[in-house]
Structure 1
């Protein structure tokens, strides 16, 4: 990539050694383009400077230019200089297009074109080109075709091609063929810059048509011709050509990077995309906006695939103004993929839903718009194509006549076939009536089964309700026993037993409250269980912050009961022992996630942790023995981490 200094040196060297006529450099400190525009004496001179500047937004934005042009326009309107008014209005329309206000640009250009009889040929060409580009941005291809036909009728172009419209409609192969036929014959063998442009555009069509390997070959050819152009010191180069070659180089690098992403060569893609973004962003104020956004999205995709998630997220969360619909779809898809990778499924779902809404609105109009554009393109065929279609129609008519004669000869055969068809139809009617009878029988059996199922579900809910009530009764009996017991150790044991009974009772309560009796939604269950434990141990008002991450996780009763008892023990231990002095900053974290047939459980607090002789106490502690047995019941092994602040338990389960 050429830096500002390198470009300055190259420009200075060429101006001395080969008498190149330009003097303006890329260093914004040398010449201010807007000031040069203001210094021009007349409106025509300003117009010529405006459209001849390689990148008029190097130092000043399109809004700055619009403010200046509006001042000149107002002055012309005061003096009623109609020629100057039209000139400044053309520049105004171009600036609104560069800003992205295509409707405003079209409105101004239409007003100017309505007075085309008073315009010179070059101004008319500029206005029609503006309309053409704006219609293309708004995907109004039929209007775009009408504009090109107007240019053709006025003799402003030798021939009007439609390859870019085919490309906008997704017909990339057709666009490429049309482009090569229309453009390649017009390029001389020694015009290396034009050849570089040509192979870059052909490569784009191939890349968009999912032919990335062939596209890279074309991009390499484009790079080769560009190098020849840059290193050819025998040919004078204008400032505009120097600018164009620099940005064409950056554009080609970006296209090579995109192709490598399509080929899943993510490491190779990253340097190409970065280099392209740096150059296009350095002097760009809107001109290369679409390409920069595309390159950043492809760069984010490459980093995501290489698990560079932070870099990818930073790229995706940058400010993207005026994205196309396809760019917005891709950005949402990549953000959803990022959140899927970090298991933030709720956030991922948000972006998937956004894409669904955009896709649904596009599908509603896509087919009718495509048909309209195809009809419009067909309507632009020249006279020779029309004659060809007429000849083809004549041949088709002859073929139809032959077919009619053949049909006349087969009338008898058709009549016999009709008789057999009627017989077959009668058989179908009989079969249909029989099928209706069978369907009635099936419907009756289905109704009977559904009623039986509802009855069984009702009975099962009643069973769970009674089990829960019985466990509540056991809990109440334990409470009565606690009141009649003076032994402190016995009271603690009874309270722990009562807490375990409540944990099991809560499972049955959740089951009979659910519509689905086979599973339990664990987020709500865990929260209810914690409230139950808090009601026992929250004597002085704890300030412990409890985080539960088990959303959308469901378990059957065989796994839910062990989990409930494990959690009961762990939460009880945290409340009793983890924060003996102060629970001001106490935290508990519970994570439960189920993937397919297996899952993962984690429990952590930031308390004082387990004593050093935990392993020796395991055999004597009722709570730890119970937890280990319950984990074994889940066909897993309990892991304990005491190295960090507090304590952490975790295990995988089936």
Structure 2
């Protein structure tokens, strides 16, 4: 029962997005859609097309969200060409609203967030404040649906702080705020918030809003056990709904009243009231409403009730292929049917509908709620009853882990209650033993018999505890073994994926290098070719990092000795003539990417610079590369050559050289220092970091 009631509450929140007592899609609306579509076919300008697409999308969003989604995406393609613009803002708003209706929370959040960002870039406009208000309120509605109520509350307070919004808009935010408080079990605050909406509705004589506030208030009143006031509110709301002739509101008012009767043990009255709601929904001929009400009614039935088979048949009809069901209908019916079939021991049907319900709930992002857990347990129980013990055990374990996180405080309270019960049991046992001791003095034979009985009971209890502990330890060991295997498999998969990423990055960098080489061949400028070659060498230094990583046993860093050896070999092949020897004196150490990449770029620049300027006229010489980790934890990189040494205009060159400026910037990134040292024969560059 609890599962069905909470799932029904989830659907109710979604229906409230477009107003609990919203109107139906009438024949007049259908005629207007036909007229707008005909005009769209004849649209001559992009602005005319955009206005028609927006009007069509808004008109059919609640009745045919899939088609509204097509209009929204077409509008988005049209307005992207003019970005940023208010046309693009309207496209984002339409798509976000349609995804709310479809129950796809992640997509709705995505487009509303893009709209929120876009509005900060657009110039002031009479509609800007209203759009800023709507985007925050709608985002709050989506977060409320997906269980992120604290975020929803923060956004609602932001919407109320926007200047220039109307009193009615403020009240709509307070209405959503009341729902968020209810979802967080802050029932007193929820009631106070809905009371504010109710006072506004009565002051403005808004009957529809008054009925909505009364119905919404009853949810928190029920949670607090204030059933008399809740019933009074519901009966008043139903009277108002009949007065203003709102058939949709009447259906939901009757449905909520039926649940109240059920909670207060008026079962037959609950079923009769729910059946009246079903008949009303059939008269209205609204598919989504019929599905919701039939699902709600099934939660109040069992197989012994006369109307139960008829309700099941109606529910299964709605799930047949070819029915134009939106996602909300399936979310409402599958879990309810799974729960019903479990009660009637039709376990195969229960398993089918439980799996379909879990799939739907995964898609809308409610896979970490109590509703989801109850459905997992329902599935596991049905699997256990049909002999699928391995699947059942896996689902029970998953539910157990999720319960551990969600109900930690409840578990602590249960533990305290258990401890208290054990203490009472111990006191009772001590008292019985004292009474037995007194009885021993009066009647020895009776005392011996009682003592024997107590010993037998104690032995049985101890044996039972030992057997339970043994079985529990075996089950926990199997669980730990399974979890370890899953973790090992996950780590292996992630390691393979990370190696593939490094491999692809290295290949992409080589492609970039090849493209630069191809471009250089088509140029007759030697200076340009030299600049491109320098760029290729810098790219190669980064590619070597990723090559070493995907070939390495460790993915957390690279072997600096192997990397510097590969790098110096690569630069030597590119720059050397065979007359300059490179001596590598490097301690083996693993460095992470954030250190290895700038270090490789620095070494590339220094070796290239030595080849270019230290050995003019193709003279012979040697370059020495040293790398070590000092006792104070600092690293030292020294590049020395025995060439012609630093030129007299070194300071000027240093300021004008891209390579040397790059070296200085990379040393700064490593939070290090650089020293240029003139030797008797050649130059030495020492870098500490």
TM-score, structure 2 normalization: 0.42
